[in-house]
Each structure stands twice: as C-alpha cells, then as structure tokens.
Chain A
C-alpha cells in the first residue's frame, strides 16, 4: 500500500492547534514523583501494577499448592483458599492487566505514536495514577484488616458476598468495593486523556487510518472501559450500601444461620447483569490492546506490512461494539429465559468472525515474511497460539447446551486463563521486550529472555492444558479440597500435582524476568534509537529515552502509515512514518 496523499512537504495541511506549553518540572519531586510527564506516569503505573501482580502470582502458588497437594499445607484452610482465588482474580484482571495495558502501555505509547508532546491534560493524567495507587493500597490493606480479604470470588456475587458465611465479610468486602470505586474514578481521569489525545492531538499528516494498531487497540479498549466501568461502579456502590446500610438492592429474603436476615425483596440477578455488563467488555478491554501490540510486533519482526490493515481496524471496532451485547453468556445457569440464551449465544458466536479475521491476518502477515525469532516475536507467536486455543474453548462455552454442564468446572478456569490470562500476559511480555529499549535506551538480555519465554510458554501449557481435561471430568472450580469423589479418578490428582509443580516453575521464571529488567537497566547492551528497525513514530524520537516533550523543537510530520516494511526499491527494509517522500526519491529509493 503506497499511501502518499501529500506528495510535497508543502502539501501537508497546516497545523490546526498551536503548541501547548508543557508543565516544566522544577525539582526532583515534580520530575520523578509527582510528574506530569506521561512517560514517567506510564512507568509508575507499570511498576505499581507489576508489584501488586507479584502478590497475585504468589497467591496463585498457594492455591496450586493446596490443589496439587491437598492436606499437606495445613496453613491454607478453606476460607483462605477462597480469599486467595478472589484476590488473585481481582488483582490480575483489574489492577494488573487493565492498569498495565491502559495506564502503562497507553500512557507511554499513545503520545509517542500519535506524535504529541504529552497527553492533552497532564495534570489530570497525574491524578489518575495517584488515585490508582490509592486504590491499590486500599486493596492491599484488605490483607491486614480483621477477617482478611473477601472470599466471595472475583465476581463478588451477592447474596453470599456480604453474608457471614463468607470470609472477609467484616472488612474485606468493604475495602474491596471501596478500592474498585477508587480504581474507576482514577481510570476515568486517565481514560478521558487517552481518548482525547488520540482523537484531537495527532500530529500533522497522521490520520486515524495511519495509526499503528497498538493505538487503535488501546483507544478502543479505553472507550469501552469508559462505558463499561460505570456498570461496575453502580454495582459496587449498591453492594456497598447493602453491606453498610442494610439496603436490599441485591439481597432477597433469606435465612442465615437459622435466622431470618434483615434483608428482603432485592434481586441478586440484577447484580449479575450489572457486573457482567462490565465484566464481558472487560475481557476485551484486556484483549484489544494485546491485539494491537501483537499486530505491531508481528509486522516489525517479520519485516512485512500488516496484512489487511483496514480490516484489522474495523475488526477491533466491531469486537468492541459486539462485546457490549454478549454479557449474559456468563449467566446461562442463572435461570434466564431460553430465548435470551439463544440471543446471547448468537451474539457471542458472531464475535468469532472479527476475531478470526484478526487471526488470519496475523498468520498472513507472517506468511513469506522475513521472520526474526527475537524474544518479542516469540511472545507474539505464543500469543496467537494461546489466543486461538482459548478462543476455541470459548466456542464451547458460548453455546448454552455445552456451557451448562461445563459451567463452574475447571474447563471454564482453563478457558479464561488461556484467553485472557496467558494470552494478554504474552502480549505484555512481548511489548516489554519490544519497547524496553525505547524506555531505557538499553536492550533486555536475549538469553535470559529466551529462557523466560520458553519456561513461561511451555509451563503455561503444562498448567492449563490438562485443566481442560479435569474440567471435562467434571472437577468443580473454587473447591478447596476435592476429596474422594466418584467421578474423579485417582490419576486426576496426579495431574493436579503435576500442574502445581509447573505453576511453581513458571512463577520462578518470572523472577528471571524481573532480574533481567533490573540488570539490563544498568548493564544491558546500548540500544540506539531504533534497534528493531521499526517504522512507527515512537522509534523516530530525537532522543532515546525520549526527552521531556518527546520531539525536540519540531513536531514530526507523518507521510505514511506505520507499516512500510520491505518496500520494493527502498534503500532500507523499512521507511519511517515521518520520512518525506521527496527525500526518498532523492535517494533513488521510492518510485
């Protein structure tokens, strides 16, 4: 695709918006701590998200220890097990993945990729991080309150979430809901910035259809988050009122410990609707940035333009729109009308079409490409495999008749870990290995990276592939100890032990990654400005790491899309987005 509507520099439209003066830090505090620079905020978001993510990783170890060797670890009782699964799920989905993709990658990449000096409102952007940090601290505090964190499961379904049988009923659930409300407030401040920056602050020559797919993914996910988080906000407020004031929004008349409770007349199903109206888009809030990152990684490291760019963009938008009308497929066993089940199964399966378009386009991008098996590329390939794997089991669970017997089994756990656990984490790692040189100016160590990749990828399969089988056997999820059960053969217990050992190994491999990140910061190979030979705008900054204001004196002017790789006749195998066509023909390169 030769996309050069402006054949001379003079043909570029004039700047519509004058330069906005940036906030210039005057002290160490405003430069590195209370920084209004999106790049610093991105690093703050990433470090915070990964720190709380490490807590969730340790929780997954404890859960696997209990599942693999029941009865051996006496310090894990049933209540604690429930608390571990709740906190693991909530942290991983919201406080790690959402925050890392949108707050971390979004903050770093959006201004650079759209050729802006910063987000449009840096001060609000800074507040977003600090409110997020507060949310994380409130969440972490639940480990220390009397009764410990809530054990209601990450879905927090009432009525059990606030009844006395559930661990963390005293304080844990209150802190959890408060933390979610804070997170949503903080996210909204950041999210508004990301959306307005993409729509209104692009540089000259950069049309929406020339944006790298990473920006499209993060942008669409942010729009979705701004429309989906309100449902979680409302659900959290109402559940908090049920717990604190004794209202009965979600609480039916019920008997607790032989006593009639003070509640009555509420609808638990209402909570499920609100929760999943947020919860399903949330899956794609995590997946769409991953789609975008993977598209860019594959294109750069296969030295080929992305196949079907426009279809990729429309697929992202279509997935984003469709994901708002599928939420009740999480509620097939709630007793809904069969016609609703039919409707939601149909919409769910329709999502397979744009998703399949994306997968085919990734494969066709790779086809006859000059594939460099760098660490980011390995992670990108692993993403495609795990995502297809999780997507296929999604077709099982999207159908009512297949879902009902599989509901609440390990099959569901295996499915969502493959599709929105392992796959997005692969994209996160691929993205970090890819953009780390831009953030720090140094490469991550390749050998350690390959070790980290192979252990993580194969290990993830060792954990979650057998889990599908356990689910088909009927092994339920959220059970502390399965015990002697007729339909679970003895071999299943051996399999559980095997998976637990794999989980421990994968967990330790992440320490190698952390070591690599810290060690390479000081000892890594100097990267230079553009180590991968990438065409998109973030690699064309005058300084690496990019300085305050990103672009030096002049904002870049964009002449082409972000995927001009291996253009016939060009001197290099990539043409940067900001390279004018005139310069090309002067070098005798571009026709």
Chain B
C-alpha cells in the first residue's frame, strides 16, 4: 500500500510502504524523514543527545553504587514517610510518579485538541500539565528539604555511602531542572495558544517566523521524554 508524503506546497508524493519506503525516503532528495517538520526533527535529535546525558548520569551512579565498600542506604527506608501513624515506604515517590505520569496524559490530550484548533481546551490542558509539573517539582523540593533536615549532604549522610547523597541530589536535581524548563515552556506556549498566535500566524519576536500548532506536539515530545526519564530514575534509584 502506498503512503503519501505530506508537503506544505500543495503537492503530494506517493511512496512505497514499509522497508521499501524507508529506503526510498533516505535515497530521496530534500528530506530524509518525510512528513517530519524541522522543529520536530530537531527535538527528536536533541532528545537523543539528552538520552546520552541521562544515561551517563545513571551509569555513573550505578558504578558508584556497585563499587562502594560502604553499605548503600536502603531507599525504601530513606524515602518513607510516617502518615497518620503508619510507616509507608516510598509513598512520596509513588505519588510524584503518579502525578508526572498523569501530566503526560493531560499533555497528550492537549496535543489532540491543539490539532483540532480548540484554543481554550489546548491551553487549559497545557496549563494543567504545567501545574502537575510544578507540583512534582514542589514535592521534590519537599523531599530534598526532608533529607537535608535528616542530615543528608552531597558529601555525606548518616546511613552509609556518601555517594548516595551525591548521586541523589545530582540526578534528581538535573531531572528537576528539566521539569522546570518544561513547565516554563508549557506556560509560554499555552499563552501563545490562548492568544491565538497560531491562528493569526503571528510572527515570533526574535525569529520573525510564524508559529504552528505543531509546537504543542513538540513541547509534548519533550514532556513525555522527561516523564520517561523519571521512570528510569524511579526504577534504578528508588526501586533498586
């Protein structure tokens, strides 16, 4: 079955499906990824690069954890909270994970409404996503505060290997920075959506280029990536 390559010049190009299609695309002129805009391609490649950064962080952490001669603190104990007189391990992390994964859901809905050009719902869902993200960062700040009060420092902690605090603050801090940047982007794009920039083809202040609703999806790519990274951090840091 032949697929069609979308263009924005009014013409359509048929191309073969499956592997033959991939070979045809890569040996064609103009674009290697048909139907992929510049912005989306750039975000994917950036995320690939960012994957290497997080992989290096996590591999370094694993190396430190496996090679330490001092016992590694037990995450279930360290990240437990006493709620209503009950000692619940990892409860805060579980809630944070739930919130972040929920935010991916609202983000996906925002992308859908964006392509339907439903300005208000798109912006509302993006702001909801941003609110989830901000809540996540807030809970992370609470967690940091709690650990610091208990005496965890980047260079030492009361329970064992000093690399525990170092890796914890570095990795969650770097991930939290990603979430924060995402929240800022979400708010900025939501403002543009709400104002109707993409309907009126208003030009960017710095770039003097028109914006498109696709930017909602590109922001979504970033957001889902940050969410996915958290799943790995959750698995390797907290559940290990």
The residues of A with any CB-CB pair to B shorter than 8 Å are: 13-18, 20-21, 23-24, 36, 120-123, 188, 191-193, 195-196, 199-209, 226-227, 229-231, 233-235, 237-238, 241, 245-249, 262, 264-267, 270, 274, 277, 558
Instruction: Tell me if B240 counts as interface (CB < 8 A to partner A).
Output: no
Residues of A within 8 A of B162 (CB): 247-248, 264-265
How far apart are the CA atoms of A286 and B55 in the complex, in Å? 24
Interchain nearest-CB distance for B175 vs A (Å): 13
Chain B interface, number of residues (Cβ within 8 angstroms):
52
With A123-B206, A205-B29, A249-B64 as known contacts, state yes or no: A192 contacts B7, CB within 8 Å. Answer: no
Residues of A within 8 A of B166 (CB): 241, 245, 247-249
Contact A270 B31 (CB under 8 A): no
How far apart are the CA atoms of A230 and B207 in the complex, in Å? 28
Contact A204 B29 (CB under 8 A): yes
Which listed residue (A17, A123, A264) contacts B207, Cβ 8 A? A123
How far apart are the CA atoms of A277 and B31 in the complex, in Å? 31
Residues of B within 8 A of A227 (CB): 48-49, 52
With A14-B9, A17-B7, A199-B31 as known contacts, state yes or no: A231 contacts B52, CB within 8 Å. Answer: yes
With A16-B7, A234-B53 as known contacts, state yes or no: A192 contacts B170, CB within 8 Å. Answer: no
How far apart are the CA atoms of A241 and B83 in the complex, in Å? 34
Which listed residue (A16, A233, A267) contacts B5, Cβ 8 A? A16
Interchain nearest-CB distance for A335 vs B (Å): 14
**Residue among B5, B7, B155 with most chain A CB within 10 A:** B155
Of chain A, the residue at the smallest CB distance from B166 is A247
Of chain A, the residue at the smallest CB distance from B7 is A16
Which listed residue (A208, A235, A267, A274) contacts B64, Cβ 8 A? A267
Contact B31 A265 (CB under 8 A): no
Which stretch, B65-73, B74-82, B125-133, B180-188, touches the partner chain A? B65-73
Contact B68 A265 (CB under 8 A): yes
Instruction: Tell me if B46 counts as interface (CB < 8 A to partner A).
Output: yes
How far apart are the CA atoms of A520 and B39 in the complex, in Å? 40
Which listed residue (A207, A233, A246) contacts B27, Cβ 8 A? A207
Contact A230 B60 (CB under 8 A): no
Of chain B, the residue at the smallest CB distance from A12 is B29
How far apart are the CA atoms of A351 and B104 in the complex, in Å? 43
Closest 3 CB pairs of A and B: A230-B52, A247-B166, A234-B56
How far apart are the CA atoms of A537 and B204 in the complex, in Å? 31
Which listed residue (B9, B33, B68, B204) contacts A15, Cβ 8 A? B9
Residues of A within 8 A of B206 (CB): 123
Residues of B within 8 A of A16 (CB): 5, 7-9, 11, 13, 30-31, 34
Contact A200 B33 (CB under 8 A): yes
Residues of B within 8 A of A277 (CB): 56
Instruction: Tell me if B57 counts as interface (CB < 8 A to partner A).
Output: yes
Q: Considering the complex, which residues of chain B in the window 121-180 have a beta carbon less than 8 Å from any beta carbon of chain A?
A: 154-155, 161-163, 165-166, 170, 174
With A16-B13, A188-B46, A241-B170 as known contacts, state yes or no: A201 contacts B26, CB within 8 Å. Answer: no
Contact B29 A230 (CB under 8 A): no
Which listed residue (B27, B49, B53, B69) contacts A265, Cβ 8 A? B69
Of chain B, the residue at the smallest CB distance from A271 is B60
Contact A226 B49 (CB under 8 A): yes
Residues of A within 8 A of B170 (CB): 237-238, 241, 247
Contact A267 B155 (CB under 8 A): no
Contact B41 A231 (CB under 8 A): no
Tally of contacts, chain A with chain B, CB under 8 A: 161
**Residue among B36, B45, B67, B204 with most chain A CB within 10 A:** B45
Contact A265 B161 (CB under 8 A): yes
With A16-B30, A199-B33 as known contacts, state yes or no: A120 contacts B163, CB within 8 Å. Answer: no
Of chain B, the residue at the smallest CB distance from A202 is B30
Given contacts A18-B9, A199-B31, A248-B155, 15 further A-B contacts (CB under 8 A): A17-B8, A17-B9, A23-B207, A120-B38, A123-B206, A201-B30, A203-B30, A227-B48, A227-B52, A234-B60, A245-B155, A247-B170, A248-B162, A265-B163, A274-B56
Residues of A within 8 A of B45 (CB): 192, 195-196, 226
The residues of B with any CB-CB pair to A shorter than 8 Å are: 5, 7-9, 11, 13, 26-34, 36, 38-39, 41-42, 45-46, 48-50, 52-53, 55-57, 60, 63-64, 67-70, 154-155, 161-163, 165-166, 170, 174, 204, 206-210
Interchain nearest-CB distance for A580 vs B (Å): 15
Interchain nearest-CB distance for B44 vs A (Å): 9
Of chain A, the residue at the smallest CB distance from B170 is A241
Residues of B within 8 A of A226 (CB): 45, 48-49
Can you pick out 8 interface pairs between chain A and chain B where the beta carbons lie within 8 Å of each other? A196-B38, A199-B33, A199-B41, A204-B30, A226-B48, A241-B166, A248-B163, A248-B166
Residues of A within 8 A of B70 (CB): 265
Contact B32 A199 (CB under 8 A): yes
How far apart are the CA atoms of A122 and B7 in the complex, in Å? 22
Of chain A, the residue at the smallest CB distance from B26 is A208
Residues of B within 8 A of A237 (CB): 170, 174
Residues of B within 8 A of A199 (CB): 31-33, 41
How far apart are the CA atoms of A478 and B200 in the complex, in Å? 63
Contact A246 B154 (CB under 8 A): yes
Residues of B within 8 A of A234 (CB): 53, 56-57, 60
How far apart are the CA atoms of A206 and B209 in the complex, in Å? 25
Contact B60 A274 (CB under 8 A): yes
Interchain nearest-CB distance for A228 vs B (Å): 8
Residues of A within 8 A of B34 (CB): 16
With A195-B45, A200-B32, A270-B60 as known contacts, state yes or no: A209 contacts B27, CB within 8 Å. Answer: yes
How far apart are the CA atoms of A191 and B163 in the complex, in Å? 33
Residues of B within 8 A of A233 (CB): 53, 56
**Residue among B27, B45, B49, B170 with most chain A CB within 10 A:** B49
How far apart are the CA atoms of A16 and B174 in the complex, in Å? 39
Which listed residue (B38, B49, B154, B165) contacts A201, Cβ 8 A? B38
Of chain A, the residue at the smallest CB distance from B155 is A246
Interchain nearest-CB distance for B208 vs A (Å): 5
Residues of A within 8 A of B5 (CB): 16
Residues of B within 8 A of A231 (CB): 52, 56
Interchain nearest-CB distance for A28 vs B (Å): 18
Contact B27 A14 (CB under 8 A): no
Contact A14 B57 (CB under 8 A): no
Interchain nearest-CB distance for B28 vs A (Å): 6
With A202-B31, A227-B52 as known contacts, state yes or no: A267 contacts B67, CB within 8 Å. Answer: yes
With A17-B8, A207-B28, A230-B56 as known contacts, state yes or no: A122 contacts B38, CB within 8 Å. Answer: no
Residues of A within 8 A of B69 (CB): 265
Contact B67 A192 (CB under 8 A): no
Residues of A within 8 A of B165 (CB): 247
How far apart are the CA atoms of A123 and B27 in the complex, in Å? 30
Residues of B within 8 A of A246 (CB): 154-155
Contact B31 A17 (CB under 8 A): yes
How far apart are the CA atoms of A369 and B228 in the complex, in Å? 55
